[in-house]
Structure 1
Amino acid sequence: MLIRSDRRGFTHRLTSEITPRGVYENRRQWLQGLAAGAAGAAMAGWPARDAQAQTARPGKLPPLPGSLSKVAGAVTMEKLTGYADVSSYNNFYEFGTDKDDPARHAAQMKTSPWTVEIEGLVNKPGRYAIEDLLKLSPMEERVYRLRCVEAWSMVIPWVGYSLSELIRRVEPQGSARYIEFVTLADREQMPGVRSRVIDWPYTEGLRMDEAMHPLTLLAFGMYGEVLPNQNGAPVRVVVPWKYGFKSAKSIVKIRFVEQEPRTAWNKAAANEYGFYSNVNPDVRHPRWSQATERRIGEDGLFDKKRKTLLFNGYEVQVGQLYAGMDLRKNY
C-alpha cells in the first residue's frame, strides 16, 4: 500500500508496512513515552556507545535510543542486504580506498563526545550535541536502496528522521539555496586522510529542495542499532535516489549557502562526478556503464545483473524536483 501526502505531493511507504505490525505498534508506544520524557535514561547512555561499539561483534552494537534492538523480521518489496555485507563492504576513503579498509580501521574513531555545527545563512546557527540531535524528532525506520557509482547496490533498513526536521528548526534565510555537509577529517583517527586521493575534509552538498524532501534522511542507525563507525557514525545523511557518495558520513558541520558548493568528488574529477549525481542508467560513467548493477550479497559475479532504475527507483517521488532539466548535462 502507498500513501500520498497532500501537503507535500509525494508517495511514500508507511513505516508499518516496512516493519511487522506488532513491532511497529511497540515503537509507537515508545514514541509516546519519548513525548513524556521517558527517553532520558536511554539518551544518557549514548556516551557509553563508543566503548561498547569497539568490542561488539558485527550485528551486536548497542540499540539506537528510540529504535529496535534488532530489525527482527522487517519486510520490504526487496530482500534486505545482510548486515555483515553492509558493515564490511564500504566506501569511506577516510579509512582507505579498499572496500574492507573501513571495517578494519574505523574502530579507532571516537564518536563521543560529538557535535554538529550549524552555520551560514540561518537565523538559528549553533552547535548541536549528538544527544540533542537524537531528540529533535521521533525516529523511524526506512528501508532504502543504496546505489553506488561502481555499479553495486544494497537494500538497508536505516533509522533516523527527515533532514527537513532539523532544517526547519534552524530557520534558513531566504537566500539559502544549498546545503553543504562537512565531514570529519582527523589524520590521527583516519589513516586515509593522510593520502591525497581527495581534498580533505570530504564535503558534499544538496539543493535546498532536495534536502527538504521527506525522503532525505538524517540517519543515526541501521538495522535498529547505532551506526557502525564504518557506515558513518554517529550521524550521516541518506539520499536514496542519488549515488551513495552523496550521502555524507560522520558529519561535523552543516552550512547553508547561496551558491552551489564545490563537493569533494566534483573537485577531484568533475568529468566523472557531477553535483547532482542522480542515479541515471542513461548517463555513463567515463570508465564504466551505469545501466546495470550488482546487488551485494545476492548476485554472484557471473549472475545476471539488475537493470539500473532511474532515480534508483524513486522517480515517482522525486522526479518533479528536476522537471525541465537536462539530466545528461546536469548529471
Structure 2
Amino acid sequence: MSIIIKSASKQDIKSSEITTETDYLNRRDFIKKSGILVSAAWAGGLSLPASAKSSDYGNDYPGLKKTAYGKGENLTSFKDATTYNNYYEFGTGKKDPAKKAVNFKTDPWSITVEGEASKTGTFHLEDILKHAQVEERIYRFRCVEAWSMTVPWVGFSLADMLKRFEPTSKAKYVQFETLYDPKQMPGQVRRVLDWPYRDGLRIDEAMNPLCFMATGIYGRDMPNQNGAPIRLVVPWKYGFKNIKSIVKIKFMEHEPVCTWNVTGPKEYGFYSNVNPDVDHPRWSQATERALGSNFWEPKTKTRLFNGYGEQVAHLYKDMDLTKYF
C-alpha cells in the first residue's frame, strides 16, 4: 500500500478527503480507521519473540505484521528501553527523559518538507501515515557510549515515505529536524547543544531498505521519552543519528548540518557508522554491553555496521571509514 500525502495548503482537495477535526485530534483511532494497521489476515493475535515477556507488549497495534528482522535476538525489556534514554531536549541524564517528557504533547503533529523535491509543504502526520505499510522490525540499537539495546520497533519504510515527496536529481542528502519548544522540552533551555537538533543521511543511505520511521515500540504507541510521535531508526549507525520527534525534512544538494558533528567534529562524524576500529577519542568502541545485562557479565565485541554489513557495506565501497567516520 502506498502513503497518501495531502498538503493542507493545496486548494484542490475534495471536501470528502479532508481529515475531520475529531479524527485529527485523535490520532490513534484515526490511524486504525485509516488502514495503518495491516490486513485482517494478520489479526490472529500477537506472536511474541521467544525472549519477550508478555507484559512488555501492548496492544495498540493489534494484528501487527511481524517481519524476519532481528529473529533470534534477545530483546531489551520494555522498562529498560523506556527509562534509560539519550534525549537532551529533556535533560542530559539517562533517566531525565522518562521523568520530564510525561506531559509532552504530540497531538496534533505536522511535518514540514522542504528543498529539492516536487512535493513540499506542511503535512499532518495523520496524512503521512495514512495507508502506510506498518510492521514490526526488531533492530539492535548501538549507542556511542558503548551500550546497546534490542527493540521491536513499529513503523514503516523511510524510503517509501521519501519517494512520495518526489525528490529531484539534486537531492543528494536528506536532513531531519527535531521540534524546538523549550516550554515543553526543558533541556532546550540550556545551550548544551545548538537547538533545534538536526541530523541527516546521504540520499542512498536514506533509501536503504533497513531505514525505518518508527511510531511505536513493543506493540505500543511510541513513548514520549523514546521520540514520540515519529522518529528515525537507522540500525547500522550510532544512536545519535536516530533523530526523534521529527518536525522537518529537507532534501539538500550538499551535506547537511548535523548537531553532534558541529558540536564535536573530532568525536562525531557525519557518517557515524558503528565501527569497532574507530574509537571515540574518550573511550573504546571495540566492545559493548547490552542494556539490562549484569555488570559482571563480559562485554561483547562490537560488530562492524552493528552487524548489518551485508545490507549496507556496499554504500561505503572504496571509502576510508577512519576518515569518513
> What TM-score results when the alignment is normalised by the length of structure 2?
0.81
For structure 2, list consecutive stretches of 5 or more residues without a partner in the other structure. 2-18, 30-54
1:131-179 per-position Cα deviation (integer Å, ceiling 9, x unaligned) = 1122242101100000000000000000111101111101001011000
Contact 1:62/1:226 (8 A) holds in 2:
no
Native 8 Å contact 1:280 1:309 kept in 2: yes
Name structure 1 gaps, 5 residues minimum: 1-30, 32-39, 51-57
Q: Which amino acid aligns with 2:188?
A: V
For residue 225 of structure 1, report the CA deviation from its aligned partner: 1.0
- Establish whether residue 316 from structure 1 lines up as the match of residue 290 from structure 2: no
* CA distance in 1: counterparts of 2:138 and 2:257, whole angstroms: 30
Q: Secondary structure at the match of 2:322?
A: coil
**1:239–1:247 contact (8 Å) kept in structure 2:** yes
Match of 2:171, SS?
coil
The 8 Å contact of residues 70 and 137 in structure 2, kept in 1 or not, is answered as no
In 2, Cα distance between equivalents of 1:183 and 1:128:
15
Distance 2:187 2:222 in 1: 20
Opposite residue 323 of structure 1, the aligned amino acid is: K
Matched, 1:67 2:64: yes
Superposition RMSD in Å? 2.4
Please state if 1:261 is matched with 2:240: no
Identical residues among aligned pairs (%): 54
Equivalent residues in 2 for 1:20-35, closer than 5 Å: none
Residue 145 (structure 1) aligns with? 140
* Distance in structure 1 (CA, Å) of the matches to 2:105 and 2:168: 33
For residues 304 and 70 of structure 2, the distance between their equivalents in structure 1, rounded to whole angstroms, comes to: 23
What is the alpha-carbon distance in structure 1 between the residues aligned to residue 86 and residue 215 of structure 2? 18
Change (3 A) 1:281 1:143: same
Residue 76 of structure 1: how far off its partner (Å): 2.4
Shift in Å at residue 64 of structure 1?
Answer: 4.2
Indicate conservation of the 8 Å contact 1:178/1:256, yes or no.
Answer: yes
Runs of 4 or more, structure 1, over 3 Å off, are: 43-46, 58-62, 64-68
In 2, the alpha carbon distance for the partners of 1:281 and 1:305 equals 13
| CA distance in structure 1 between the aligned counterparts of 2:129 and 2:246, rounded to whole angstroms | 14
**Residue 47 of structure 1 aligns with which residue?**
26
**2:297 is equivalent to residue 303 of structure 1:** yes
Matching residue's letter, 1:138:
Q
Counterpart in 2 of 1:163? 158
Match 1:215 to one of 197, 210, 214: 210
Q: Deviations over 1:92-122 (max 9, x none)?
A: 0000000000000011210000001111110
Mapped to 1, the partners of 2:28 and 2:170 lie a distance apart of 39
Q: 1:230 to 1:173 in 2, by over 3 A?
A: same
**C-alpha distance in structure 1 between counterparts of 2:143 and 2:189, whole Å:** 24
Offset, 1:45: 8.2
Q: Determine the structure 1 residue equivalent to 2:273.
A: 278
